[in-house]
Amino acid sequence: MNKKKLVWQSVFLLILIIGTITILRKQPPFRTNEGMVFGTIYKITYQSHEDLHQEIKAALQQVDDALSPYNPNSIITRINHNEDTTLNTFFTDVFTLAQKVSKETEGAFDITVAPMVNAWGFGFKNAISVDSMVIDSLRQFVGYEKIDIEKGKIVKQDERVMLDCSSIAKGYGVDQVAKLLTQKGIQNYMVDIGGEVFVKGKNPKMNRWRIGINKPIEDSLSINQELQTILEITDAGMATSGNYRKFYYKDGKRFAHTIDPRLGYPIQHNILSATVIANDCTTADAYATAFMVMGLEKAQAFCQQHPELEAYFICSGEKDTYEIHYTKGMEKLIVKK
């Protein structure tokens, strides 16, 4: 009797193994599409029988056509040139969220910062010689409250107001690709545009996605990819803002690319990088920039009031060391070494 039972168990196990192999063979493969967009590299990994690269590129082009100040025909370029412009949902989505984040952060995040970013040499126009008088002049037409949408059109209080969405556009591009993949019924994917990321489901090993946070080493060519830590996340957007790659030295002084829109000067906080996890990458992108401007204490206080956000801060410490701070919810996402 025991022999007969053993035979049936063996047969059942064999059928189970064959069935599992058959199912696995029918699973779509993971594929990766790569390219350049918004002046950076994108890498998109997703599980699908179909190669969607052409549709992905089309989605990214739509974002570029709305938000790139380097695209002479984009909506944002026409707005900056004060041309009569019809807005689309790509632009209005980003503008609406940007205004919300600006109000919540008391202007630490502000897409009207473009004239200041340009003046300091980090924007889409040539740098100028900057002094306190120039900054005071620019401050007259920088401020999120100086621009709005009325009846589907942009309305400026001053025609010199200019927009720069570089602190939010990559995150929005990530979300648009993620939206496309979800609409295609794809359950497992990672969208990465220049370090701004959205992940869903599982990775090719059927585990949660692992995303690294780089050490904030001065590296204008983005050659150094040494990691400070690794996060294990899924179904979330993640973005990092830092001052360790875009900077220059003048007269022995270091100028970083993050400008405080309220003051007009590059920030001088000890935060080297701020990483934010949110429900979508657009939101994470905006708040990562805002936290760099706000400084550690205010950013931490903001996170306590907004539990939907998780944040990881790398700050400069004594004798070239790093000080690490992160929200309580972030701790459970850190991969233990």
Contact 233, 202 (CB under 8 A): no
What are the φ/ψ torsions at residue 252 (nearest 5 degrees)?
A: 80, 5
Based on the number of CB atoms within 10 Å of its own CB, is 206 exposed (0-12), middle (13-18) or buried (19 or more)?
A: exposed
User: Which residues lie closer than 8 Å to 226 by C-beta, 6 or more apart?
Assistant: 214, 215, 217
Q: What is the rounded CA–CA span in Å between residue 300 and residue 9?
A: 58
CA 249 to chain centre: 26
Tokens representing 219? 């590296």
What does the pLDDT read at residue 296? Answer: 94
Q: Give domain limits for the chain.
A: 32-156, 201-331
- Domain 32-156 matching CATH 3.30.43.10: the answer reads no
- Per-residue pLDDT of the chain in tens (337 residues, 90 and over written 9): 566 666 666 666 666 666 555 445 568 999 999 999 988 999 999 999 999 999 999 999 999 999 999 999 999 999 999 999 999 999 999 999 999 999 999 999 999 999 988 887 776 776 667 788 988 999 999 999 999 999 999 999 999 999 999 999 999 999 999 999 999 999 999 999 999 999 999 999 999 999 999 888 765 444 456 888 999 999 999 999 986 555 444 544 544 568 899 988 887 778 889 999 999 999 999 999 999 999 999 999 999 999 999 999 998 877 778 899 999 999 999 997 6
Q: Which CATH superfamily includes the segment(s) 201-331? A: ApbE-like domains (3.10.520.10)
What does the pLDDT read at residue 11? Answer: 60
Decide whether 32-156 matches 201-331 in CATH topology: yes
Residue type, 317: G
What does the pLDDT read at residue 233? Answer: 96
Tokens representing 261? 């829109």
What are the φ/ψ torsions at residue 10 (nearest 5 degrees)?
A: -65, -45
> In DSSP terms, which residues pair with 278 in a beta bridge?
237
What does the pLDDT read at residue 248? Answer: 42
How much is the pTM?
A: 0.87
What does the pLDDT read at residue 117? Answer: 86
Q: What is the rounded CA–CA span in Å between residue 266 and residue 117?
A: 9
